[in-house]
């Protein structure tokens, strides 16, 4: 199906049929997720496809035993990382170098601008200072307003990972299967199951399967676009 068909067809499915999903379907959707736009192309994401039976059972419990998790053929956890940008920045520069000379502007961006915004400091101490400086400069000209703090960085990177989530779900839909993005889960337990530390932020757990007719809760409901869409 084309993109607009996939967007129209995609629904959050709360119950699935007892039917497996081919590995190639998940692989293709993960490939699509990796192509999502992201902050400074630093790709601060990790995707955990939980296939181990015991871990999957634990993950279902951590997702509050929702039917969309319990009946799913597959579960994929989407994580934002605040600690991989240095590694990824270095690999980006190395890859660009292998392709030819890295322009000074691009090198300066990754070596100077990125650390400026991605290093909040101990207890966000640097973030507070940078926030104050940019607030003063912002009185005279447009300036970026973050991220400066650890919470701001998590929010920025979570937006990036959410874009990957949408790519993943549309790719699953385009292949004839269904998904449900879950935010209702115990993050501490999910992180424990996956062995994640404090630098990881679980953005979504997405269930995948062949939809059961009872898994769609009514017709799609959207409010009047005039409430949300403005031309200024």
> Mean pLDDT over residues 67-94, rounded?
97
Encoded tokens for 184: 């209702």
Q: Read off the DSSP letter of residue 225.
A: G
Query: Could you give the CA distance from residue 211 to residue 70 in angstroms, rounded to a whole number?
Result: 13
CB 26 within 8 A of CB 74: yes
Largest CA distance in the chain: 61
Query: Could you give the CA distance from residue 177 to residue 211 in angstroms, rounded to a whole number?
Result: 7
Is residue 122 pLDDT above 80, yes or no? no
Residue-averaged pLDDT of the chain = 95
Lowest mean pLDDT among 56-70, 112-126, 148-162: 112-126
Taking alpha carbons only, the member of 199, 148, 208, 207 closest to residue 46 is 199
Q: Read off the DSSP letter of residue 2.
A: -
| Residue 72 pLDDT | 98
Query: Could you give the CA distance from residue 166 to residue 227 in angstroms, rounded to a whole number?
Result: 23
Is residue 228 pLDDT above 90, yes or no? yes
Q: What is the pLDDT of residues 142-177, one digit of tens each?
A: 998 889 888 999 999 999 999 999 999 999 999 999
SS3 label, residue 69? helix
Residue that has been written with the tokens 């296939």 in this structure: 51
Encoded tokens for 112: 């100077």
Domains of the chain: 3-84+156-227 (3.40.109.10), 85-150 (no CATH)
Apex CA 118: angle with CA 112 and CA 122, to 5°? Answer: 115
Give strand ranges (E) for the chain: 45-50, 74-81, 178-182, 200-209
> Phi and psi for 13 in degrees, rounded to 5?
-95, 130
Encoded tokens for 100: 């030819």
| Residue 158 pLDDT | 96
| Residue 168 pLDDT | 98
What is the C-alpha end-to-end distance of the chain, expressed in Å?
A: 34
Q: What is the pLDDT of residues 187-214, one digit of tens each?
A: 999 999 999 999 999 999 999 999 999 9
Query: Could you give the CA distance from residue 115 to residue 117 in angstroms, rounded to a whole number?
Result: 5
What pTM was estimated for this model as a whole?
0.94
| Residue 130 pLDDT | 87
Taking alpha carbons only, the member of 106, 133, 132 closest to residue 41 is 106
């Amino acid at each position: 199906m084309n993109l607009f068909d996939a967007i129209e067809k995609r629904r959050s499915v709360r119950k699935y049929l007892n039917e497996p999903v081919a590995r190639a379907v998940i692989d293709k959707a993960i490939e699509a997720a990796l192509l999502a736009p992201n902050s400074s192309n630093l790709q601060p994401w990790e995707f955990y496809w939980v296939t181990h039976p015991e871990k999957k059972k634990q993950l279902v419990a951590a997702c509050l035993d929702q039917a969309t998790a319990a009946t799913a053929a597959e579960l994929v956890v989407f994580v934002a990382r605040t600690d991989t940008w240095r590694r990824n920045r270095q690999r980006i520069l190395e890859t660009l170098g292998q392709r030819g000379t890295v322009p000074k502007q691009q090198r300066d961006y990754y070596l100077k601008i990125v650390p400026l915004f991605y290093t909040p400091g101990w207890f966000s101490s640097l973030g507070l200072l940078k926030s104050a400086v940019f607030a003063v400069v912002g009185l005279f000209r447009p300036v970026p307003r973050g991220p400066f703090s650890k919470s701001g960085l998590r929010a920025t990177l979570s937006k990036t990972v959410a874009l990957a989530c949408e790519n993943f779900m549309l790719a699953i839909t385009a292949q004839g299967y269904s998904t449900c993005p879950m935010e209702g889960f115990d993050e501490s337990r999910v992180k424990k199951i996956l062995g994640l530390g404090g630098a990881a932020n679980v953005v979504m757990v997405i269930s995948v399967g062949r939809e059961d007719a009872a898994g769609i809760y009514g017709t799609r409901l959207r409010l009047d676009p005039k409430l949300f869409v403005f031309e200024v």
